[in-house]
């Protein structure tokens, strides 16, 4: 049985004050959505604050990115072992904004996935097609290519405790979510690719949906058999909305 995970990607938003308020709201409402795992992903500089506010609660935290290297002369980068100092559980790798704005190739993403695991962090691997790719009918080929880069480097065993997030690029931050059936079809495809290699791992891997998920559409998305939670951007910046999404998954 896969426990649903609702993860809030705060992107480059927030201040110490706003984050204190947001976390207080999430902490207060967490007990009511205990059936679902919650996790938040602040900007790096607020990790200490998040750790301080969430230690001892059931809410997990992590970051939106990490370096593929463990240490060294990489100005401006943050390494996996550093994230462990702040007791992060997860790290997002391959978010479409990293792929498109910062030129992260499938191979770089795969190396980041490996670096996360080496540090003892659970990677959340984001995959998904652009609107042009969907219209060309190559959604499955794109997702398969993104997945294979990681499978080639790390093998199927690496997915036993990793998470995958299917995030159609055309749905991120646009207010236009994939329909439950569109998302389910891709989630089932991803699971079938994992099952070709190891059916047990495939049945355990959580596959989240991301792309304009909000309280109003969460219940029907989360009701689909292969949707195991959500990676939520904009709607995770308000405690009430974030908790309502989680409630829909209970």
Which residues make up the interface to ligand PEP (CB under 6 A)?
A: 9, 167, 172-173, 210-213, 231-235
For residue 167, indicate whether it is catalytic.
Answer: yes
Instruction: Give the N- to C-terminal CA distance of the chain in Å, as an integer.
Output: 13
For residue 87, indicate whether it is catalytic.
Answer: no
Residue whose CB is less far from ligand PEP, 210 or 249: 210
Residue whose CB is less far from ligand PEP, 205 or 217: 217
Minimum separation from the CB atom of position 211 to ligand PEP (A): 5
Minimum separation from the CB atom of position 232 to ligand PEP (A): 5
d(CA 112, CA 69): 8
User: Per the residue annotation, which of 97, 167, 187, 241 is the catalytic one?
Assistant: 167
Residue with the shortest CB distance to ligand PEP:
233
The 3-class SS string of 149-185 reads HHHHHHCHHHHCCCEEEECCHHHCCCCCCCCHHHHHH
Token duo for residue 136: 């060309």
Minimum separation from the CB atom of position 127 to ligand PEP (A): 12
- Would you call 66 helix, strand, or coil by DSSP? coil
d(CA 201, CA 207): 12
d(CA 214, CA 191): 24
Minimum separation from the CB atom of position 236 to ligand PEP (A): 7
Residue whose CB is less far from ligand PEP, 197 or 216: 216
Active site residues: 95, 167
């Amino acid at each position: 049985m896969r426990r649903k995970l609702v993860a809030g990607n705060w992107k480059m938003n927030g201040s110490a004050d706003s984050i204190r308020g947001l976390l207080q709201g999430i902490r207060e409402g967490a007990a009511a959505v205990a059936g679902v795992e919650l996790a938040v992903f602040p900007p790096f500089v607020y990790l200490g604050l998040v750790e301080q506010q969430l230690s001892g609660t059931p809410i997990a935290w992590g970051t939106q990115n990490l370096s593929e290297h463990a240490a060294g002369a990489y100005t401006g980068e943050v390494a996996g072992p550093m994230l462990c100092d702040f007791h992060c559980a997860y790290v997002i790798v391959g978010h479409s904004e990293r792929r498109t704005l910062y030129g992260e190739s499938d191979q770089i993403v795969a190396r980041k996935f490996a670096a996360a695991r080496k540090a003892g962090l659970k990677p959340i691997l984001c995959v998904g097609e652009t609107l042009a790719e969907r219209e060309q009918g190559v959604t499955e080929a794109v997702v398969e290519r993104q997945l294979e880069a990681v499978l080639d480097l790390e093998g199927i065993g690496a997915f036993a405790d990793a998470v995958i997030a299917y995030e159609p690029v055309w749905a991120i931050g646009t207010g236009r979510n994939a329909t439950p059936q569109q998302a389910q079809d891709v989630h089932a495809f991803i699971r079938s690719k994992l099952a070709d290699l190891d059916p047990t791992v495939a049945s355990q891997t959580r596959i989240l949906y991301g792309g304009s998920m909000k309280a109003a559409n969460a219940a029907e998305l989360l009701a689909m058999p292969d949707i195991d939670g959500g990676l939520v951007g904009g709607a995770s910046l308000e405690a009430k909305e974030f908790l309502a999404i989680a409630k829909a998954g209970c």
